[in-house]
Chain A
Amino acid sequence: MRKYFIIFSIAIAGTLLSCNNNETAATATKTDAPVATAPGGQENVQDDVSAKDVVKVAASSKDHTTLVAALKQADLVTSLSNAGPFTVFAPTNAAFEKLPAGTVEGLMKNDKKEDLQNILQYHVTLAAMKAETFKDGQVLGMVNGDNVMVSIKDGKVVLNNSATIIASIPASNGIIHVIDGVLLPPAKK
Chain B
Amino acid sequence: MKKITLSMTVTSILLMFLLLQSCKPKNAGSAVNSDAASKAYVPPGKYDEFYNFVSGGFSGQMSVYGLPSGRLLSVIPIFSVDPEKGYGYSEETKPMLNTSHGFVPWDDQHHTELSQTNGEIDGRWIFANANNTPRVARVDLTTFRTREIIELPNSAGNHSSPFITENTEYVVAGTRFSVPPDDANGDVPINTYKQNFKGYISFISVGKEDGKMDIAFQIKCPGINFDLSHAGKGKSHGWFFFSCYNTEQANTLLEVNASQRDKDFIMAVNWKKAEEYLRAGKGRKQMVKYAHNVYDEKNHTASSEIRTEITVLDAKELKDICYFIPCPKSPHGCDVDPTGEYIVGSGKLAALVPVFSFDKIQKAIADKAYEGDYDGIPVIKYEAALHGEVKKPGLGPLHTEFDGKGNAYTTFFVSSEVVKWNLESLKVLDRAPTYYSVGHLCIPGGDTRKPNAKYLIAYNKITKDRYLPTGPELSQSAQLYDISGDKMQLILDFPTIGEPHYAQAVAADVIKNKSVKFFKIEENTNPYVSKSEDATKVVREGNKVHVYMTCIRSHFSPDNIEGIKAGDEVYFHVTNLEQDWDVPHGFAIKGANNAELLIMPGETQTLKWVAEKIGMFPFYCTDFCSALHQEMSGYLRVSPAGSNVPLLFSTGKNQPKVDSIAVK
Q: Name A's B-contacting residues (CB within 8 A).
A: 1, 4-5, 7-8, 10-12, 14-15, 18-19, 21-23, 25-27, 29-42, 44-47, 78-79, 82-83, 85, 114, 121, 125-129, 133, 139, 141, 143-145, 147
Partner of A27, one of B15, B29, B37, B437: B37
Nearest CB in chain B to that of A130: its residue:
B256
- Contacts known (A47-B464, A82-B437, A144-B351); A15 close to B395, Cβ less than 8 A: no
B-side contacts of A145, CB under 8 Å:
350-352
Q: Judge whether B25 and A82 touch: CB under 8 Å.
A: no
Q: In the docked arrangement, what's the CA distance between A36 and B32, Å?
A: 8
Q: Is the CB of B415 within 8 A of A79?
A: yes
User: Known: A18-B19, A38-B28. Is A141-B34 also a contact (CB below 8 A)?
Assistant: no
6 A–B contacts from the bound complex (CB under 8 Å): A8-B8, A18-B20, A22-B29, A26-B32, A34-B31, A145-B352
* CB-CB under 8 A for A36 and B33, given A78-B415, A82-B437: no
Q: How far is the CB of B35 from chain A (nearest CB, A)?
A: 7
Q: Say if the beta carbon of B624 comes within 8 Å of chain A.
A: no
CA distance A30 to B413 in the complex (A): 33
Contacts of A133 in B (CB 8 A): 253, 256
Given contacts A11-B16, A46-B465, A114-B392, 7 further A-B contacts (CB under 8 A): A1-B1, A21-B23, A34-B33, A41-B433, A83-B437, A125-B349, A143-B414
Q: Which residues of B contact A83 (CB under 8 A)?
A: 413, 437, 461-462
Interface centre among B260, B395, B433 (most CB of A within 10 A): B395
Min CB distance A37 to B, Å, is 6
A26 near B28 with CB under 8 A, answer no
Binding site for A on B (CB under 8 A): 1, 5, 8-9, 11-13, 15-16, 19-20, 23-37, 253, 255-256, 259-260, 262, 329, 348-352, 392, 395-396, 413-416, 433, 435-437, 461-462, 464-467
A1 touching B33 by the CB < 8 A rule? no
Interface centre among A1, A37, A38 (most CB of B within 10 A): A38
- A15 and B30 contact, Cβ closer than 8 Å, known pairs A7-B12, A79-B415, A82-B436: no
In whole angstroms, how far apart are the Cα atoms of A142 and B13 in the complex? 52
How far, in angstroms, from A127 to B330 measured CA to CA in the complex? 12
Whole-angstrom CA separation of A38 from B395 in the bound complex:
21
A45 to B5, CA, bound (A): 41
Please indicate the chain A residues that have their CB under 8 angstroms from the CB of B433 in the complex: 41, 78
Q: Are A44 and B27 in contact (CB under 8 A)?
A: yes
Are A19 and B351 in touch, CB under 8 angstroms?
A: no
Identify which of B16, B25, B395 contacts A22 (C-beta below 8 A): B25
Asked if residues B259 and A36 are in contact (CB atoms below 8 Å), the reply is no
Q: A1-B1, A145-B351 are in contact. Are A30 and B465 (CB under 8 A)?
A: no
Q: How far is the CB of B471 from chain A (nearest CB, A)?
A: 13
A114 to B32, CA, bound (A): 28
Query: Closest residue of chain B to A29, judged by CB?
Result: B34
Partner of A7, one of B9, B25, B26: B9
